[in-house]
Amino acid sequence: MVSEWGRRFYGICSNNTEFAWESVKIRRDKKPTLGVRLMYSHVDDPNDRWIARWLTVCAAVIFGMILLGGVTRLTDSGLSMVEWNPIMGTIPPLSQEDWELAFEKYKQYPEYQKINYNMELSGFKTIFMYEYLHRVLGRLIGLLYFLPLVYVVMRGMVKPALMPKLLLLFVLGGCQGLMGWYMVKSGLVDRPDVSQYRLTAHLGLAVLVYGYMTWLILRLTAPKRPLPPMASYRPLILVALIYLMILSGGFVAGTDAGYSYPTWPLMGETFLPPALYADGWISAFEQVTTIQFNHRMFAYSLVVIVLTIGIGNYRASSDGRVRLASLLLMAALTFQVVLGISALLTHIAIPVAAAHQSGAIILLTATLFFAHARITERSRI
């Protein structure tokens, strides 16, 4: 007896368009699992609901990608793969000969010659796998975004106003991948470390993609909170400040500035460390003392700003969503501050430092949720 799936497959392969369409429709009309059914079940438009689910999965994977990128940096693994092969690079070394060949290529570059000259093959395998997984996850995100994008476009599920936004995300994602290799190339020359400028740009693009995707998800999943035509977008200033704070963290990571003063609340024995801005304004980007000091001052300023805004909106607003967003914003800030201090006091322990980077993305997410709630507070239906 031919199974139901066999009949569907036969219908599609035999170019029976009507049968194939019915098969697809049967699959779409089937009740989804409990987890999928609960995700955004309040959204009436089925197309918006499925697009929001797809973007949420993509955003979650990008979050993991940012976390893995931070671990790759913390373990000094980013320069272990000295070639960029978008297709063949997805296949790792499979034999002892393959591993030895990859190791020999690594030995030709400054990081091995100046820093890891005592490294054995077993140690190389460890750092190689961090970078390999980071790159493979990047390619997976590309497929996870591109293939469903083609599907929803071909099915006419995307509203005209949403189409350019989805295409922009695709372009930004591609640029982020190219920036990753451009960053790695900067560490394959005389200086066995990547440029802090390129590292920060690489991080900034990843966070930009995540942030914009999260904003689209918020809009799709809140159909009864449309953006008013004359909306005040001042709450997005807070989002911009959090984004700049993350970029500041990129310079800390790119210069290893976190190791320079593993103390708190003082930097060493003073609040104002010696040699602050010793080289002028360029110190803000290239001198570890100044970079860490600026990151701390930026954090202290954000604590005051976020707590003022959060407490004020929680007390003044009658909108439950705004009040909830205010609480989440302040909780995420507190979580991130504790992680930042802990990272310093543990001398940048990898689990704590990685959690600190994740905390920054959580704080950005909470800030976007708050900004959307505030902007749509008076236009909610």
Cβ(209)–Cβ(169) below 8 Å: yes
Question: Both 72 and 199 in a single domain?
Answer: yes
Nearest-angstrom CA–CA distance, 209 and 353: 22
Question: Both 160 and 215 in a single domain?
Answer: yes
Question: Both 305 and 260 in a single domain?
Answer: yes
Is residue 338 included in any domain, yes or no? yes
Question: Both 242 and 372 in a single domain?
Answer: yes
Question: Both 256 and 199 in a single domain?
Answer: no
What dihedral do alpha carbons 6, 10, 12, 18 form, nearest 10°?
-100
Cβ(298)–Cβ(278) below 8 Å: no
Is residue 189 included in any domain, yes or no? yes
pLDDT at 1: 39
Which of the four pLDDT bands, split at 50, 70 and 90, describes residue 5? very low
DSSP-based three-state secondary structure for 378: coil
Question: Both 208 and 79 in a single domain?
Answer: yes
Residue 230 half-sphere exposure toward CB, CA atoms < 13 A: 0
The number of folded domains in the chain is: 3
Helices (H) and strands (E) in the chain, counts: 14, 0
Question: Both 65 and 184 in a single domain?
Answer: yes
Task: With CA atoms as reference, report the closest residue to 379 among 235, 223, 239.
Answer: 223
Which of the four pLDDT bands, split at 50, 70 and 90, describes residue 324? very high
DSSP string, 136-195: HHHHHHHHHHHHHHHHHHHTT-S-TTTHHHHHHHHHHHHHHHHHHHHHHHTTSSSSSS--
Is residue 64 included in any domain, yes or no? yes
Question: Both 99 and 7 in a single domain?
Answer: no
Please give the span between the terminal C-alpha atoms of the chain, in angstroms, as a whole number: 54
Q: What pTM was computed for the model?
A: 0.87
pLDDT higher at 38 or 330: 330
pLDDT at 246: 97
Write the pLDDT tens digit of every residue in 129-146. 999 999 999 999 999 999
pLDDT at 237: 96
Question: Both 201 and 292 in a single domain?
Answer: no
Is residue 98 included in any domain, yes or no? yes
Cβ(329)–Cβ(306) below 8 Å: yes
The per-residue pLDDT of the chain, averaged, comes to 88
Q: Tell me whether residue 52 is exposed, middle or buried, using C-beta atoms within 10 angstroms of its C-beta: 0 to 12, 13 to 18, 19 or more.
A: buried
Is residue 35 included in any domain, yes or no? no
pLDDT higher at 43 or 185: 185
Question: Both 219 and 238 in a single domain?
Answer: no
- Of 169, 201, 223, the residue at which a domain comes to its end is 223
Residue 7 is part of which domain span? 1-29
Is residue 228 included in any domain, yes or no? no
Question: Both 160 and 68 in a single domain?
Answer: yes
Average pLDDT over every residue of 196-213: 96
Who's near 76: CB < 8 A, 6+ residues apart? 111, 127
Question: Both 203 and 69 in a single domain?
Answer: yes
- Of 202, 223, 244, the residue at which a domain comes to its end is 223
Is residue 312 included in any domain, yes or no? yes
Write the pLDDT tens digit of every residue in 273-290. 998 999 999 999 999 999
Q: Tell me whether residue 70 is exposed, middle or buried, using C-beta atoms within 10 angstroms of its C-beta: 0 to 12, 13 to 18, 19 or more.
A: buried
- Of 203, 223, 243, the residue at which a domain comes to its end is 223
Is residue 75 included in any domain, yes or no? yes
Write the pLDDT tens digit of every residue in 116-175. 999 999 999 999 999 999 999 999 999 999 999 999 999 999 999 999 999 999 999 999
